[in-house]
A and B are shown apart, each in its own frame.
Chain A
Amino acid sequence: MRARNYFVGAAFALLAGGMAHSALAQDIKIGEINSYSLLPAFTEPYRKGWQLAVEEINAAGGINGKKLVVISKDDGGKPADAQTAANELVSSEGVAMLAGTFLSNIGLAVSDFANQKKVFFLAAEPLTDAITWSKGNKYTFRLRPSNYMQAAMLVEAAAKLPAKRWATIAPNYEYGQSAVAVFKKLMSEKRPDIQWVDEQWPPQGKIDAGPVVQAVAAANPEAILNVTFGADLVKLVREGNTRGLFKGREVVSFLTGEPEYLDPLKDETPEGWIVTGYPWYSIKTPEHDAFLKAYQAKYNDYPRLGSIVGYQTIKSAAAILAKAGSTDPEKLIAAAEGLSMPSPFGEITFRKIDHQSTLGAYVGKTALKDGKGVMVDSSYKKGADYLPSDAEVAKLRPKD
């Protein structure tokens, strides 16, 4: 099992007892942390994604001739454990930078650690706006489009709907709260005429879907914003379908188009929801084709969004390391700020102003095809187009 943890490009060996491994002094090491045991549905494809990236990078000669090694740790979904792992990676393994994390609070904990210990940190997945804005720091960069960006993408489509009475259903934690807050704010700016008639906050992972669906239906909204995902989404959709909640109502939903969350729904996939996601089957760009081909050849499986995030995290890290030509954190920051690079979704840039990448997301509608959920009419939204103005960002982010 350790073999899955320590992926060392071409070859690796472990000594029994476990601290030492084959990475040579001249290798460049990246320390990667994620919630592997807590969220395997997302992190397994994610791991496959970054492993593919490591393989490609080393096959192409590594980073300025040095081999790239990724040392990966599990955080078990706990911020305190993530910090222990980060400390081990930095203090014992001597990694050049930290990368990864899924949950927002873990991303923030590692980001704070990075700031304190002056280590470069590339956050892969955490969506919270705080990580680049209110609690941003100079050592932390973030790859995925933030809550704000995804909300802005959805609002663009949602504002065109005629619906005036809106209800929201979101998991009761930071991600759900901020997704709803941003969506409401942006939506009300574009459409001052709409009313927010109900909001439901089931605990994350513990939705009692029947009463929630019934309560939303009782408010009689014309449209619903959903932020739940994973098992909660499954329960919500099943109850909603049976009770006819979605009939004649528009639904706008965060993340639902991602294969991780859409595929389990199978033939119960609700049709016509406006969602963000990753329709890997209908993206026809040369960059994505190359990625898809390599991924399927290596794993004989289709990629999830996690695969893209994992792949691009390590690709980005490698690009930053290559440009810096050094593992000095200050030089890495200088190299990363404003750096553009290719990605399976097209070119992305790490912004100097808030260290957010301009990776975008696909917005489309859900549909049923051969008993499976798919995204149709999807189009790529560039991240750069959905961020607030520089002046606003400067106000949001503390000075370094």
Chain B
Amino acid sequence: MAFYVVQFLTGLASAASLFLVASGLSIIFGVTRIVNFAHGAFYMIGAYIAFTLTERLSGAFGFWGSIVLAALAVAMIGVIVEMVLLRRIYHAPELFQLLATFGLTLMVEDLVVLIWGPDDLVGRRAPGFRGAIDFFGQNIPSYDLFLIVLGPVVLGILWLLFQRTRWGVLVRAATQDRDMVAALGVNQKWLFTSVFAVGVFLAALGGALQIPRDAVHHAMDLRIIVEVFVVVVIGGLGSIVGAFVAAVLVSELNAFGILIFPKISIILVFLVMAVVLIVRPWGLFGKPEAAARKTPGLTVNPWRPLTSNERLAAVAALVVAAMLPLFAGNYLLTVGSEIAIFVIFAVSLHFLMSVGGLASFGHAAYFGLGAYGIAFLAKMAGLPMIVCLLLGPLLGCMGAAVFGFFAVQLSGVYFAMLTLAFAQIVWSIAFQWVSVTGGDNGILGLWPSSWAASPSHFYWLALGVAALVTVALRAMVFSPFGYALRATRDSLLRSEAVGINAKRIQWTAFVIAGTTAGIGGALFAYLKGSVFPDNLGISLSVDALVMVLLGGVETVSGAVIGAIVYKALNIWLVSQTDLSKLVLGGFIMLIVVVFPKGIVGMLEMLAQRRRKSSPPGSPLLAKPIESAE
């Protein structure tokens, strides 16, 4: 019995650590709607700075002072980031801030190694909380007890802050309806900055408090960020109490789950999230999101099919790309194939995100399923390459059909997180089912048949498929189905009122996007000759998001450019420098500030501005003439 009590308390201590970080994320999201990918980075910087300070300052006051000082210092960094970076892009399309915080995270990961060195750092234990307390023969670390008390205390302070201060009232009001708060004359700038500072403070405090039990190292951020997001979503976005309950739920399920299934930790949080979201679409304590009052930027710049001239330009670009084998060597051709494959992957997500308005955080699942489809067909059934390429993506299609059915019942960030949960479940199956998938050692030896083996042939294959897929998806955007899908995106209510079965349309779009991603994955398996669980992983899903956002989420085919730029740059930087993350992160942040609508979005806007500023009539009149030519 004593054991179960102690295990329960241990779970509570884990929950407290998780809650501190999650509460900050929840507050930031609730008010600013920023999906703060850098939250883990702030957590990590908090730990690093606290490590440095605790090594310098001695004594009990030195230790606890250092923890608080570190959290304050990081909160200051957060303020600077908010003012210099995020403030510029609040009006950018939804999720664009994710790109900025992703860039920041990349930079921080390299910066901490440059500043603090590559070794794992082990900090001091907390003065007064070094030992353990005996509980009927079981030891409970006193630091755990401290955390168990701290969690509810922080919850209480936050509750008081939100319920009993004017600032708190404003924060709650903004969480419910920030447009209304702005309309009532509240200075949103400072409200957002202060909220961001508080959120970052909590993240850094959470990191600093890990010093006595953890090692400080450069991958701490990734270890926590996804888990924290999950906790926030399970609890319900913007709900602090929800975050607390979710943290306790997840930690306790883990603490007791490992007694029965020792391998459960790897997937537990995602399982819990999937179940919770299917049963309660807005998390445990969340409320349905108020209908967006946005006038979408989309209506300002209506989508149109390419003009003849633009079509010619696209064909010319394709011809030029197809001539690459005439002068490029094998390496460049293979890189070209990889980029073409990522174009397929990116446009598939783009279709779902910008046409359907459904941002998936787990799109790699269908890419990876396509790749595993190839692996099963080629290695187990021994089918020839052409058959595999036709059938392999079907696995992605099936996955998308099953998961999409559940996912499209939700919307917004809940949709995104449910797709992430599904992707992680698929990933963990690939990772754990060693006898079938080979586990993390993957499936090897999937090289293409001789007709496609040479780099130039494979390049043409990949390029051809990429072009076909892009054209097909574009055609779909301007088909009746595409219009229906856009209608569900722009106004669910109105689209349903005119008789569109929104869920079915969205589900179909999900399956189309998943199958297309599967095609990309199938080609990728042949390009690399192997399949690994990585192909289903979070980092690949994030890559796809970054490509779409970089290209411009409000464009018809911006993802093509986004994929080319991001992938080419990534491959080149990784090859040229060990600090690729630092440079790439800096580049992304620069793009975010300079091109707040993405690369293609910005180009389109410039083109339109020029059209408007030029003498009225001429370009508009010129267009039909051009088409007639």
Within 8 A of B (CB), among A326-371: none
Q: Given A84-B334, A211-B7, check contact A201 B532 (CB 8 Å).
A: no
Give Cα distance in the complex from A41 to B6, angstroms. 35
A13 interface contact, C-beta 8 A: no
Judging by beta carbons under 8 Å apart, are A244 and B132 in contact? yes
Q: Which residues of A contact B440 (CB under 8 A)?
A: 104-105, 173-174
Q: Mark B201-236, 1 if CB is under 8 A from A, else 0.
A: 000000000001111011110010001000000000
A205 interface contact, C-beta 8 A: yes
A265 interface contact, C-beta 8 A: yes
Give Cα distance in the complex from A73 to B578, angstroms. 8
- Of the candidates B10, B110, B574, which one forms a contact with A214 in the assembled complex, judged by CB atoms under 8 Å apart? B10
Q: Which residues of B contact A115 (CB under 8 A)?
A: 445
Count of chain B residues near A, Cβ 8 A? 77
Judging by beta carbons under 8 Å apart, are B575 and A85 in contact? yes
Within 8 A of A (CB), among B522-546: 524, 528-530, 532, 534-535, 539
Judging by beta carbons under 8 Å apart, are B444 and A109 in contact? yes
Q: Which residues of B contact A203 (CB under 8 A)?
A: 265-266
Give Cα distance in the complex from A200 to B257, angstroms. 11
Q: Which residues of A contact B219 (CB under 8 A)?
A: 38, 205, 231
Most chain A CB within a 10 A radius of its CB, from B130, B138, B528: B528
Residue of B nearest to A92 (CB): B331
Judging by beta carbons under 8 Å apart, are A91 and B330 in contact? yes
A209 interface contact, C-beta 8 A: yes
Residue of A nearest to B576 (CB): A18
Q: Which residues of B contact A322 (CB under 8 A)?
A: none
Q: Which residues of A contact B118 (CB under 8 A)?
A: 40-41, 43-44
B309 interface contact, C-beta 8 A: no
A4 interface contact, C-beta 8 A: yes
Which DSSP category, helix, strand, loop or mixed, fits chain A's interface? Answer: helix
Judging by beta carbons under 8 Å apart, are A73 and B575 in contact? yes
Judging by beta carbons under 8 Å apart, are B141 and A200 in contact? no
Judging by beta carbons under 8 Å apart, are A234 and B214 in contact? yes
A144 interface contact, C-beta 8 A: no
Q: Given A104-B441, A200-B262, A211-B11, check contact A231 B141 (CB 8 Å).
A: no
Q: Given A78-B534, A231-B215, check contact A84 B335 (CB 8 Å).
A: yes
- Of the candidates B3, B11, B439, which one forms a contact with A174 in the assembled complex, judged by CB atoms under 8 Å apart? B439
Q: Which of B119-127, B312-320, B612-620 lines the interface with chain A?
A: B119-127
Most chain B CB within a 10 A radius of its CB, from A18, A199, A206: A206
Q: Mark A202-222, 1 if CB is under 8 A from B, else 0.
A: 110110111110110110000
Give Cα distance in the complex from A316 to B214, angstroms. 38
Q: Which residues of B contact A198 (CB under 8 A)?
A: 262
Within 8 A of A (CB), among B278-332: 329-332
Q: Given A18-B576, A174-B439, A235-B214, check contact A215 B7 (CB 8 Å).
A: yes
- Of the candidates A135, A201, A268, which one forms a contact with B265 in the assembled complex, judged by CB atoms under 8 Å apart? A201
Give Cα distance in the complex from A79 to B335, angstroms. 15
Judging by beta carbons under 8 Å apart, are B7 and A214 in contact? yes
Judging by beta carbons under 8 Å apart, are B330 and A87 in contact? yes
Judging by beta carbons under 8 Å apart, are A92 and B532 in contact? no
A133 interface contact, C-beta 8 A: no
Residue of B nearest to A261 (CB): B120
Within 8 A of A (CB), among B125-153: 130-132, 138-141, 143-144
Q: Which residues of B contact A235 (CB under 8 A)?
A: 213-215
Residue of B nearest to A6 (CB): B576
A113 interface contact, C-beta 8 A: yes
Give Cα distance in the complex from A346 to B466, angstroms. 54
A264 interface contact, C-beta 8 A: yes
Q: Mark A59-91, 1 if CB is under 8 A from B, else 0.
A: 000000000000001111011110111011001
Give Cα distance in the complex from A174 to B434, angstroms. 9
Give Cα distance in the complex from A238 to B122, angstroms. 10
Give Cα distance in the complex from A202 to B447, angstroms. 34
B97 interface contact, C-beta 8 A: no
Judging by beta carbons under 8 Å apart, are B442 and A105 in contact? yes
B555 interface contact, C-beta 8 A: no
- Of the candidates B265, B432, B530, which one forms a contact with A208 in the assembled complex, judged by CB atoms under 8 Å apart? B265
- Of the candidates A91, A205, A208, which one forms a contact with B14 in the assembled complex, judged by CB atoms under 8 Å apart? A208
Q: Which residues of A contact B113 (CB under 8 A)?
A: 40
Q: Which residues of B contact A199 (CB under 8 A)?
A: 262
Q: Which residues of A contact B140 (CB under 8 A)?
A: 243
A128 interface contact, C-beta 8 A: yes
A387 interface contact, C-beta 8 A: no
B13 interface contact, C-beta 8 A: yes
In the complex, how many angstroms separate the beta carbon of A78 from the nearest chain B beta carbon? Answer: 6
In the complex, how many angstroms separate the beta carbon of A21 from the nearest chain B beta carbon? Answer: 11
Within 8 A of B (CB), among A210-255: 210-212, 214-215, 217-218, 230-231, 234-235, 238-239, 242-244
A5 interface contact, C-beta 8 A: yes
Q: Given A2-B577, A18-B576, check contact A210 B265 (CB 8 Å).
A: no
Residue of B nearest to A82 (CB): B528
B597 interface contact, C-beta 8 A: no
Q: Which residues of A contact B330 (CB under 8 A)?
A: 87, 91-92
Give Cα distance in the complex from A20 to B413, angstroms. 46
- Of the candidates B7, B212, B214, B445, which one forms a contact with A112 in the assembled complex, judged by CB atoms under 8 Å apart? B445
Judging by beta carbons under 8 Å apart, are B213 and A37 in contact? no
Judging by beta carbons under 8 Å apart, are A172 and B266 in contact? yes
Q: Which residues of A contact B11 (CB under 8 A)?
A: 210-211
Q: Which residues of A contact B265 (CB under 8 A)?
A: 172, 201-203, 206, 208
Residue of A nearest to B252 (CB): A211
Q: Which residues of B contact A195 (CB under 8 A)?
A: none
Q: Which residues of A contact B329 (CB under 8 A)?
A: 91-92
Judging by beta carbons under 8 Å apart, are A108 and B218 in contact? no
Q: Which residues of B contact A76 (CB under 8 A)?
A: 574, 580
Q: Which residues of B contact A5 (CB under 8 A)?
A: 576-578
Judging by beta carbons under 8 Å apart, are A264 and B442 in contact? no
- Of the candidates A38, A177, A243, which one forms a contact with B439 in the assembled complex, judged by CB atoms under 8 Å apart? A177
Give Cα distance in the complex from A220 to B258, angstroms. 16
Give Cα distance in the complex from A5 to B131, angstroms. 46
Give Cα distance in the complex from A230 to B219, angstroms. 11
Give Cα distance in the complex from A266 to B51, angstroms. 15
Most chain B CB within a 10 A radius of its CB, from A2, A43, A78, A265: A78
Q: Which residues of B contact A84 (CB under 8 A)?
A: 334-335, 338, 571, 574-575
Residue of B nearest to A247 (CB): B139
Q: Given A87-B330, A231-B217, check contact A79 B139 (CB 8 Å).
A: no
A391 interface contact, C-beta 8 A: no
Q: Which residues of B contact A218 (CB under 8 A)?
A: 3, 7, 259
- Of the candidates A41, A92, A212, which one forms a contact with B120 in the assembled complex, judged by CB atoms under 8 Å apart? A41
13 A-B contacts (beta carbon < 8 Å): A1-B579, A5-B578, A83-B528, A88-B575, A108-B441, A108-B530, A211-B258, A214-B255, A215-B7, A218-B7, A231-B219, A235-B215, A238-B212
Binding site for A on B (CB under 8 A): 3, 6-7, 10-11, 13-14, 110, 113, 118-122, 130-132, 138-141, 143-144, 212-215, 217-220, 223, 227, 251, 254-255, 258-259, 262-263, 265-266, 329-332, 334-335, 338, 431-432, 434, 439-442, 444-445, 447, 455, 524, 528-530, 532, 534-535, 539, 571, 574-581
Please give me the 3 A-B residue pairs with the lowest Cβ-Cβ distance, nearest first. A40-B118, A234-B215, A91-B331
Add 13 more A-B contacts to A73-B574, A79-B528, A238-B213 (CB < 8 A): A41-B119, A80-B534, A84-B335, A105-B440, A200-B258, A202-B258, A205-B223, A208-B254, A211-B258, A214-B138, A234-B214, A235-B213, A268-B122
